[in-house]
Copies of this chain bind each other. A is one copy, B any other.
């Protein structure tokens, strides 16, 4: 009777975690026509996603959904909402899909996926990049680990939230690729910071330097988008240092497990620790430069030398 393809596409989505990322992602699911049932640790936030039905617990979300999306902060948070009392595992319907869009440990991911599969459901890890703006605009990059067939079943849900959807490999591969993303991001950031501080110390205008080198082999997203903010002393977060640090901890832990030598990442992690200590974790990642400025005693962009 019903158009089953359409039914499958617009099955109810459960959404757990309506934070800076999860709230706009939920709104985009509603806009795309998905019924959404939602739970958030602070329950009042669910009302901000107009049209989403509130549920009393992660288990209650799962009992009413075909696909359950989790978008929280750390490995322990994902474990709590999936395995905890009144967690997703207590409510999952047969053949449901659990999609974790948080950035967490690849090893924890593999363990949770095994538990979800143990109750006859499927699991995808699907961390994102693109930040709050990407979440609002529905232009997130989504890095998916899990079975290709499961990804195909979930694709309409992903397409409501993101643009570049990459199947990275089996469960955990999405998290691994996300950590690769953070590894590259944090070292491109160090590249920018060392170039700027060297330039400043040498008495050359950093703005001129940025203009001269950013279009060539030294170019990066960071230098194009964040270097001029540093010169303008704008440390408002695109991405917060505290969250970058959480991700670098994951990368360094995973590197310890797989025996990958991340000497550069380790250095950046330590320098960002200095930034957290002096300026707090809510500043943007471009504040990495402030760890180097703490050493030189001179701010990039200052004219008095």
Contact = CB atoms under 8 A, between A and B. Distances in A.
Interface of A: 106, 129-131, 141, 143, 164, 166-169, 172-173, 176-177, 179-188, 190-192, 194-205, 208-209, 211-213, 215-223, 225, 239, 251, 254-255, 258-265, 267-268, 271, 292, 295-296
B264 A264 contact: yes
A218 B217 contact: no
Contact of A187 (B129, B194, B204, B296): B194
A251 B198 contact: yes
A215 B164 contact: yes
Q: Binding site of A, secondary structure by majority: helix, strand, loop or mixed?
A: helix
Contacts of A239: 217
Q: How often does this chain occur in the complex, in copies?
A: 2
Contacts of A254: 198, 202
A216 B141 contact: yes
Residue in A164, A217, A251 whose Cβ sees the most chain B Cβ within 10 Å: A217
A252 to B, nearest CB: 10
Given A188-B187, A259-B201, A221 B219 contact: yes
A237 B264 CA distance: 24
A275 to B, nearest CB: 14
B264 A212 contact: no
Contact of A173 (B172, B204, B260): B204
A19 B58 CA distance: 68
A83 B258 CA distance: 55
B221 A221 contact: no
A197 B180 CA distance: 9
A209 to B, nearest CB: 5
B201 A260 contact: yes
A195 B184 contact: yes
A213 B221 CA distance: 11
Contacts of A204: 168-169, 173, 176-177, 180
Given A177-B204, A197-B261, A129 B217 contact: yes
A108 B205 CA distance: 20
Nearest to A291: B261
Identify the 8 closest CB pairs spanning chains A and B, nearest first: A187-B191, A184-B218, A220-B220, A166-B212, A201-B258, A201-B260, A180-B195, A198-B260
Given A259-B296, A260-B296, 8 more contacts: A141-B213, A168-B208, A168-B209, A173-B203, A194-B264, A198-B258, A218-B221, A263-B267
A192 B176 CA distance: 15
A271 to B, nearest CB: 8
A220 B176 CA distance: 19
Contact of A213 (B184, B190, B263, B292): B184
Contacts of A258: 198, 201-203
A169 B208 contact: yes
A164 B215 CA distance: 9
